[in-house]
Each structure stands twice: as C-alpha cells, then as structure tokens.
Structure 1
Amino acid sequence: MEILIVEDESEIAQLIQLSLEKEGFSCRVGRDGVNALRMFQEQPPDLIILDLMIPGLDGLEVCARIRQKPGTKDPYILMLTAKGEEIDRVIGLSTGADDYMVKPFSPRELVARVRALLRRSLRQGGQHQVTRTQNFIVDVEQRTASRQLNSQEAETLDLTNLEFNLLSTFVSNPGRVWNRTQLIDKLWGDDFFGDERVVDTHVARLRKKIEPDPANPLFIKTVVGVGYKFEDSAVT
C-alpha cells in the first residue's frame, strides 16, 4: 500500500513515516500543498495523511482539489491538525477527508486509523472480494496475491501495485482476451500518456513473478495481433 504523508514539520513527518514503514507500508513525504498535488498526480497513493496547516495551499484546498479530479485514483484522506475545535473537523470532513486526528497524536493510534481506512471497501463500492482460480488467490481488499504450489501450500507473490492490479484484472476474467487499450483504460484510466507498448513491459514483469517458465507462459497467454488472455480454471 502506498501512503503519501503531507507534513511540513520534519520531526512529525519522520515519526509518521517510521511508524508506517515499520508496519510494512510504502511512504513518500511532501512538505507543502503544491508539492503534494504534484506527487499525487505523478503517482496516486492509496491513502494520504494530510496536515491542515501546510505552506502554499493548505490542507483543505489540497483535499478539495484531489476530490475534484475526475478519473484519478480516489485515495482515502486522513487529515491532521493542531486545532481541536469542532468547526475545523466539520470543514475538513465536508471537504472530502475520510478521517480526522488532532495533534498531538499517538503513532499507534495513527497506524490503527490507517489500517481501518484501508480495510474499507467504500471506494470499490462493494464488499470484500476474494477471487480464486485453480492456481491463484487474489484478495482485493487486503491487496494480497498468492499462487498455489500444491493442494496445501501457497506462495505469497511480491507484486508492485500495478502488477497486483494487472493480475487482479486477469484473474477476475479468466479466458477473456484483452487488447492493450482495454488494459490501459482498466489500469491507468484517463491519466495515461505514452506508448501503449508499456503494457507489454508490465506483462513481462508479471510473468517473471507468476510463471514457472516466463518464456513459455502457462497463465498469461499472448493472443497474436490482439493482446493477452489469462488461462486458469475459475473456482467458485
């Protein structure tokens, strides 16, 4: 899971980053509102920890602009502030924040709040989804994927966010043929700018992680002149 920390106080930013990375999260840090928006556009995170009082654009403006961007990844936003008045909390939540914490805060509670937000399925608009095929198990909510080695053992796959989304797309639609444009729409949406052949690169990387022999793939098959399809028996 990718988390963007937007906090101008170095000690607080470092404390948050160390606490989250200790729990296995991947973090980036922005120091002001303008930088935060740029980092969001470059690589949309799964969750943003956003301080209310930051230089440039304040946290409320950053939150509002992120929520107004159609077609982009819709991250959870946990807002931080040194103010404790209810009006600040109401304004923050009405702008689009999902949760709110007042400084000083417990790093332990912060991690718990982050985990609680990421467990929600509101952004996906559905319930906890686990997709199984004969050889793979993909948990969309927990963002974990594994490959069955035998009837009793499974290997956890170490995937990037994009590789996970690509595998999830394939596993959810076994037998379907996808062309590059369809995969780009599915994975990047309107944010994609570049050569559609980048899909081939990510497919090749995913094959190296899930195929016994990537040069002769069993699961992700190339459909010449069209694109790709995933072959594995679905499990109900």
Structure 2
Amino acid sequence: MNYPLLVVESEQETRLILVDYFQQEGYDVLSAETGIEMREHLDRQDFDVVLLDAQLLSGDSLMITRELRSRSDMGIILLNGREDNIDKIIGLEMGADDYIAKPFELRELLVRVKNLMWRVSRSREHAPLTQHVDCQQIQFGDWFFDIQRRSLSQHGEPIKLTKAEYELLVALASNPHQVLTREAILNMISHRVDTPNDRTIDVLIRRLRSKMECDPKTPQIIVTIHGEGYMFAGT
C-alpha cells in the first residue's frame, strides 16, 4: 500500500534524510526544495501528508500553508528550526495540523505522520457522505454562498464567518436535505478544530444560526433532526 508523502525542505541534508527514512518505512515519498517545486508535484498527484519546512529560503512558508489548506484536506506538519510559540500558533492558525521543532527524533516524527495519516484517511472515508457541490456558488433565499471565495452574503451584505463556521457551512450546504450526524460533521472538520467533540458541533451550529436565521430558536435553514443530527434545508 502506498502512503503518499511530500517533503518540502530547504536544507538538502535534512531533505535527503527525511526522504530516505520514510522510504525505508514504506512510504511513497517525493521531495521539493521550494514552493514552486512543491506545486509541480501537487499538480501531478495527491498526497496524504506534507512535511513543510517552516523556514523556507523563499520565506513564504506560512502563505504556502494557507494555500495547501485551501486546496486540499491533506495533513500538514510544519518543521521549524526555532522553538517559538508565536510561530507555532501562527502556523496552526494558517491551517497546519501539527508542528514539530528541529532537531527532532525521526521516530517521533514517524508517529506524528502515522497519526495524521490515520486522521486524514478517516476523514476521507466519510467522503461518500459529502456530495460536493459541482457549482461552488450556492444561492438560497436571500443568501449567496461562494465556497471558493469563502464569502457569505445576504442581500449583497457580507457576513463574517470564522474558519470553523465556514467549514461547517460547506459541510452542510454540500449535502442539502441530507441528515448529517454530529460524528459525520466532526469528521469533516475535526482536524481543524481544537479538542473537537459533539459539543463543538452544537456550539458551531448555534453560532452559525445566530448569523443566518431570522429566528435562531425556530431555524429554517439549518434544521435539527432530533436524535439524528442536522440538515441544511436552505435550498
């Protein structure tokens, strides 16, 4: 079985060590020195996890992290030569799933990669539940949701959404008139939300309703199906 892994690392020695180690562990590994090379690989194939040098010589690691997260559900682990909590927080906010400081133990990194691949795989196993909307623009009532642009508006007035609220709305709007359990929703967004659980989904639903429903107590767009979950009834 292949485990597609992409190593994006400026330091040649570190890059070669990582490629050799993970190949010995049975992974299908490709490497890149720059963001340009990384994009060339991504255009040709999909990867489960990307190991990304947080200090690329081009200096665009954080923007690359955001770009990767916007285009794919792949796992992202940032590798940083500095033990800096600010760097870690910013990296995670940009969409990274994990962060490890250099120098790191290869076996520890292997465990992190395995765990992240399992989470990504588990999330993708629920993909049949999500009938992704072919059109990235969804209109329902007075609302307009542009998935690609990450924008929601009512009567042309933009409504601000947090990242978690946006991902929740994508999950619901991509499955109109289908009941989604809390677990199913959780699997669609869980690796982007800290310490997720059923309560997380309920809180996000309430927050989204407060921004979208005329009367959040009697929702018409995001409906509760008691004992089962939630359904998007807006379209």
TM-score with structure 2 setting the length = 0.50
Larger helix proportion of the pair: 2
TM-score with structure 1 setting the length = 0.50
